[in-house]
Structure 1
Amino acid sequence: MIELASILVLGVFAQWLAWKIKQPAILPLILIGLVVGPFSTFFTPEGSKLIDGDQIFSGDLLFSFVSLSVGVILFEGGLTLNLKEVRTVASTVRNLLIVGVLITFVGGTIAAVAILDLSLSMALLFGGLIIVSGPTVVLPILRNVRPNAKVNTILKWEGILIDPLGALIAVLVYEFIKSSSNGEYYTVEALKDFFTTISVGFFIGGFGAVLIWYIISKNKIPDYLRNVITLGTVILVFSVSDLLQKEAGLLATTIMGIVLANMKLDDFKKILSFKEDISLILVTLLFILLSSRIDIAQIEQLGTRSLLLFAVVIFILRPLGVWLSSIGSTLRWQEKLFVAWIGPRGIVAAAVASLFSLDLLSSDTTSAALKSEAELLLPLVFLVIVGTVVIQGTSAKYVGKWLGVLRKEPQGVLFVGANEIAKKLALFLKKEGFYVLLADTAKHNVNEARKLNLQVYEGNILSEEIFEEVDLSQIGKMMAVTSNSGINSLALSWFDNELGMENTYRIVSKEEAENENLPLPKNVLFKSRLDYLSLNHLLRQNSEISEVKFYGESEYEEFLEEKGKTIIPLFIITSEKKLHIISGYPEEVGKDDRLIFLKNKNYNMSSNENE
């Protein structure tokens, strides 16, 4: 009991630490697992592990837990694979998913045979496992580094699309190895089992997706049971597939996720949100659990040849795959080099490797030679994962700066809310040439904003989904303008770490507006006590947003001193087309900078002040 509770506590700490240091969560999860697992034997009295996955889940129970967990994780990966997006991504991304995957798979296999003397079957399995990258490792790096839009798009979509694709290849290779009889490949029986596994996986997975689509779209179940029944169906699909054909469950859940992602389903976003919560819990448990199972003897087996294999993967195979995939593209050599440098391996690779290793070691049909190699598979894959995340994750920002591929300070604005306030301000900024994005959960607000040709994200702004589903590379500032002061405050906390405290703003709460004794925080919009209702009323009164140009900071100060009580200053737009949002932070006004403001209904400016 205490070990299981410790895993949960340590897992939550690892997730928080990853958020704090802006690194993928997989890194602290695996490192914590190694510390409380194999490395703890150096300082415990009897040389035993503080936490050992084999003691918590013994025998088949551990295998079953890992299998089901991987099945759910692969279902999540499948849900991110929208075929419409595959058709619309750049040719470089498509090539990375074909040429890049092939280079990694074949090159990894050849390198494993040549450097580590692995058998062909285990080398093929290793080559298949190191294909997988995934959004859970790539997106945190991109949010921290903030490369230019072209590079960001390529790496983001490669990471999202390669997750289920790589897992599918690894599962298919493994099924072919398992269906072979004692290493005698290409027999009729092996091919029969192999294609039976594929058939069962595709059929049961497709059937499960159609079943979920039917019961949800036809309202056969209440709303509060939809997510739970979806999870139950995933587990059912996995179990039935595995019962009909051993090891077909992983393929079936992947196919189920892919098919469901490409069907029109009204509540699809709710399923996506729910699967994130479940996957987070499973990933937290799984990686500390699996890392703790590794023994010091297995780590010692790695040696210098394993490091050489790791070097081949990141310094030869990845650059070669990117170079061949980007032939004929518009990428500069600096951008190609940066894309080649960012290729961290992720959660699915570690989970699937652990599952395959467990199955091979526990199987009576696995030869002694293959079992010996299977013991090396898990630490070898973990070496690639930890090595790529540590080296590439920590150096990405410096490499990007050196290559000159980091984007300039983005001037786009994210509006939390798509109400009248957001729409009017967004339309003005869009007219001025700034990128604007509105986010709201209310369908009416979303539809009205889209009628005005504004870009809108329909969903919860406080969900991790926004970082996966929306390209925020052009966003530099955030304005929370909803009628709910709690949501506005939460939005600031949510984006402070991404954009910086000085770039996130909100309107005042009703309490702050009514009590002038309360000091206003620096991040309050427009230096005013206008709450949602007052600001909305003022914007309705003013059909036009006014502006005045200055030739120095002294003119700006004089203007505010004379007109300050009769106007609401909104923005300063510099002569270099940079946007400064008026708040409690100090402003600097230069030559030809413009102040954008609202004036009271009865206030008339002279014509020369509007020039």
Structure 2
Amino acid sequence: MNPVTAFALVGALGVGAQWLAWRLNLPAIVLMLLAGLLVGPVFGILDPSVAMGDLLQPIVAIAVAIILFEGGLTLNFKSLTDAAVGVKRLVIIGGPVGWLLSASVLHYVGGLSWATASVFGGIMIVTGPTVIAPLLRQARLKRRPAALLQWEAIVNDPAGALAAVLAFEVVLVWQTATTVEQALSELAIGIVVATLVGLVAGWGIAKSFSSGWVPEYMKVPVLFVSVLVAFAASDSLLHESGLLAVTIMGVWIANAHLPSHAEMHRFKEHATILLVSGVFILLAANMTRETLLAMNWQTLATVVAVILIARPVTVLISLAFSNVPWAERLLVAFTGPRGVVLVAVAGLFGDRLVQAGIEDAAQISSLAFALVAGTVVLHGFTLKPVARLLGLNASTTPGVLLVGGNRWTVEFGKLLKKLDLPVMISDPNRSHLRDARDAGLQIYTGDILSEGAEHRLDLMAYETVIAATDNDAYNTLVATDLAPEFGRENVYQLTRETSESARYALPPKLGGRYIGAGETFWQVQRRMWDGWEFRVTTLSEEFTLQNWYDTHPEGIPIADIGPRGTLRILGPKDTPKETRGTRLIAMLPMKEHRAKAEGQA
């Protein structure tokens, strides 16, 4: 297979696995692992080492560097808040303890030599930011435990690579004539240089972007090139130190408060999805049948010992005597998925150890894949129920965020609350929220797009956003800004007023989906003033959807709730489900108004 065909196949499999995982609500990395193994060692369709040759390792190394840089971009220090103590402990205490325990498990349970176990044990510090992010979205955890897992994963990734470098240098001391002083000196110089490179690169990007030295259309290309330069410069002095440099660079940019940071971060997220998919399928396909067949009961015992002994003990020691509640400690202790970085770095050091004369290092690749597969499958299917058992879910039922305090949102929110759906109304004007407050609805006084809202609100509890203020431009801004986070299919707004002048018309590509009959703010408010109300009707075999339309010819369907409790907002072209047990939410004239109208007729 030629390189172009190989790239096309990897891309199709990676994106296809991500999409299928979204449709089936499964961890994407499980399907990517399966796809890579099927086209690689199982059916022999793709052999990356043959199709791509010497380019395979550089491609993987650069992809991992960009993935870690994107992870650094998410580390805004203000988002730490009350999770800061736990994160520091998990990194400063958990790193060395996890290294020691993992190496011990690999030696005593896995049967590896101390040389191989010490190097692989350092790599096992990482917990996979590329894996934890989709798991957190699926599990919908509360803010603090989610922050603990996310920050630990991203910060410990370069730390694990550097731990492996340290162990590898020590091993080389024993295998070669290199002195201990020389090896430690090279390591220290490499770490210092990597830190300086990351800081200088981050400062340079932030300064040039904020000063307007780089035009808007060139910011992303300049960012990509800067990441590659920083990675290569640091890595040329000490192998794998480039991972530390690009992570520090990302963290600096994330905390520089750049006006275009959000756009850059979203673009990087898209690039990361492609890179994660591609790298994981490449590494899985590069496995050999001999490596897979080499897995035995000892491999399984090693994975089980890491999950049930090394990880829990590491976390419990790290968080001992801290202010982190016990429920959160237990959740973090039994959640340690591994991902792309572990496999990539493990394969790299495994080859280097074999070249140094340590034969059992050839088992590192198979152990790495077994650990990734075991932890991802386990946590992918257990994180959500375990979090629910410990009371750490943001919400058992996805809720609705209503932006704008007015009669329409208050009445809609009251009905959703009666149906046991989480609902919150946000508005910068406190007086607009008086009726919502009197009705006992959860409120947020402030701009939902502000930094304060981002840090104070647990938006994971909400799946749907409806922008319904009297300002069409603001509704459009809210829908556009929150669409990447909530998914464009879950963001709605009231229909914008049409303008005869192109000067005042907003671009149609901006904003969210329209709700109900496609009416504007003033049209729905006028209905509320004329005595309309929200009502819910349960459909059955005796009272079908057609019966509802015949009974309520004026009714405007707003949403439906399926038998499984899934809320679906309806737009102008959407038809309510006709399934028995579906609850239909609609706007109707009040009973007395309907009776009066029928009497007049």
Q: TM-score range by the shorter chain?
A: 0.7 to 0.9
Aligned equivalent of 1:288? 281
Structure 1 counterpart of 2:50, one-letter code: Q
Q: Look up the equivalent residue of 1:222 and give its one-letter code.
A: P
Cα RMSD (Å): 4.9
Which position in structure 2 is the counterpart of 1:169?
159
Q: Distance in 2 between matches of 1:99 and 1:544?
A: 64
Question: 2:519 is matched by which residue type in structure 1?
Answer: D
Pairs within 5 Å for 1:5-44: 5-40=8-43
**Partner deviation per Cα, 1:503-552 (whole Å, 9 max, x = no partner):** x87657999xxxxxxxxxxx9845xx3523xx3355389799997999x9
- 1:367 — aligned with what? 356
Cα deviation for residue 436 of structure 1 reads 2.9
* Cα gap change, 1:4 to 1:429, in 2 (>3 Å): same
For the pair 1:50 / 2:45, whether they are aligned, the reply is yes
In the other structure, the counterpart of 2:309 is 316
Counterpart in 2 of 1:209?
202
The Cα offsets for residues 528-581 of structure 1, whole Å up to 9 and x where unpaired, read as x3523xx3355389799997999x99xxxxxx99x9899989899xxxxxx998
Q: 1:496 Cα deviation (Å)? A: 8.8
What secondary structure does 1:479 align onto?
Answer: strand
Query: 423-432 or 162-171, which moves further after superposition?
Result: 423-432
Q: What per-residue deviation string (whole Å, max 9, x for no partner) do you get for residues 193-215 of structure 1? A: 01111011011111111111122
The Cα shift of 1:238 comes to 1.3
Conserved 8 A contact 1:180-1:190: yes
Q: Which shifted more, 541-550 or 392-401?
A: 541-550
Which residue in 1 is equivalent to 2:430?
none
Which position in structure 2 is the counterpart of 1:463? none
Structure 2 residue 146 is matched with structure 1 residue 159: no
1:274 pairs, out of 257, 267, 270, with 267
1:122 paired residue number? 116
1:397-446 CA distances to partner (integer Å, 9 max, x unpaired)?
4555666765654474235xx6xx6777557888999653779xxxxxxx
Alignment partners' CA distance in 2, 1:19 and 1:582:
22
Residues 157-215 of structure 1, C-alpha deviations (whole Å, 9 max, x = no match): 13321233222222222332344473439711011101111011011111111111122
Give the secondary structure class of the aligned counterpart of 1:219.
coil
Report whether the alignment pairs 1:454 with 2:442: no
How far apart in 1 are the matches of 2:173 and 2:250?
32
1:83 aligns to 2:77 (yes or no)? yes
CA distance in 1, matches of 2:11, 2:399: 39
Show the counterpart of 2:220.
227
Return the offset for 1:56.
2.2
> 1:298 is matched with which residue?
291
Q: For residue 414 of structure 1, what is the aligned residue in structure 2?
A: 401
Distance 1:337 1:423 in 2: 42
Per the alignment, residue 462 of structure 1 pairs with none
Give the equivalent residue in structure 2 for 1:536.
522
Which moves more between the two structures, 218-227 or 281-290? 281-290
Q: 2:334 aligns with which of 335, 338, 341?
A: 341
> How big is the shift at 1:256?
1.0
Show the counterpart of 2:349: 356
1: CA distance, partners of 2:158 / 2:446: 38
**Aligned position for 1:68:** 62
Kindly indicate whether the alpha-carbon contact (under 8 Å) linking 1:92 and 1:326 is maintained by their aligned counterparts in 2. no
Distance 2:224 2:364 in 1: 30
Cα distance, 1:102 vs structure 2: 4.2
- The equivalent of 2:106 in structure 1 is 112
> How far did residue 323 of structure 1 move?
3.8
Match of 2:502 in 1: none
Deviates more, 1:117-126 or 1:539-548: 539-548
Shift of 1:386: 0.6
Query: Is residue 438–residue 457 contact of structure 1 (8 Å, CA) maintained in 2?
Result: no
Deviates more, 1:199-208 or 1:2-11: 2-11
Quote the offset at 1:38 in angstroms.
1.5
Q: CA deviation at 1:393?
A: 1.4
- Is the CA contact 2:532–2:589 (under 8 Å) kept in the aligned structure 1? yes
Alignment CA distance shift 1:469-1:380 (3 Å):
farther
User: Which segments of 5 or more consecutive residues in structure 2 lack a partner in the other structure?
Assistant: 428-442, 499-512, 540-547, 561-566, 597-601
Contact in 2 for aligned 1:426/1:436 (Cα 8 Å): no
Equivalent-residue separation in structure 2 for 1:331 and 1:89 (angstroms): 11
| Alpha-carbon distance in 2 for matches of 1:255, 1:367 | 31
Structure 2: how far apart are the matches of 1:544 and 1:263? 51
Secondary structure at the aligned position of 1:436 is classed as: strand
Structure 1 stretch 274-283 or stretch 487-496: which is displaced more? Answer: 487-496
Identity of aligned residues (%): 27
Q: Matches of 1:496 and 1:256 in 2, distance apart?
A: 28
- Listed one character per residue, the Cα deviations across residues 264-290 of structure 1 (whole Å, up to 9, x for unaligned) are 211111221121122222222211111
Deviates more, 1:348-357 or 1:76-85: 348-357
Q: Which runs of 5+ in 1 are unaligned?
A: 41-48, 440-450, 460-465, 512-522, 554-559, 573-578, 607-611
Q: Report the counterpart of residue 377 of structure 1 in structure 2.
A: 364
